[in-house]
Amino acid sequence: MTGGCQCGAIRYEIMSFPLLLYTCNCTDCQRQTGSAFALNMPIRYGDFRILQGEPHGWHHTSPNGTPVISQFCAGCGTRIYGERAGRSETVSLRAGTLDDTSWLMPAAHFFMRSAQPWVQAAAGAECFETQPNGWGSLLQAWRAMWPEFFAQT
């Protein structure tokens, strides 16, 4: 999969299927996106590669107190991905930056306590009032949605 920022200065590729897709409805994500939620997609760090351009980092703290670096395009301001302390094996890609977003369907919705009243959960998606403690069951649900990309055990 490939994607990039709005102005085209930054391009990236993903060499494996995403680990998960979820919406985050926290007020920080609402403010950062200028929308009702962020659509986040964890990717294995080793399977994510910048092809063109150089993202700039903004250091901040997540709602639960975790240090985060949000990587964005300095030209157009598009947030591309985030890096979170304690999750060095993954990056959290903003799924809307993919070239093809037609297939996206979240497996979960986080921070539903601050979701806009008109936000409707995707059919079959798990909903959390805040952030879940780990991704265990969510990873299983995501893999079940996409069996062609995950070896069955």
pLDDT at residue number 63: 73
Q: Is 28 helix (H, G, I), strand (E, B) or coil?
A: helix
Domain count, the chain: 1
- Residues 47-58 have a mean pLDDT of 97
Tokens of 12: 């990236």
The rounded percent of the chain whose pLDDT value lies above 70 is 99
Q: Name the residue type at position 82.
A: G
Residue 153 has pLDDT above 60, yes or no: no
Dihedrals φ, ψ of 60, to 5°?
-155, -175
CATH number at residue 38: 3.90.1590.10
Each residue's pLDDT tens digit, 95-145 = 999 999 999 999 999 999 999 999 999 999 999 999 898 888 899 999 999
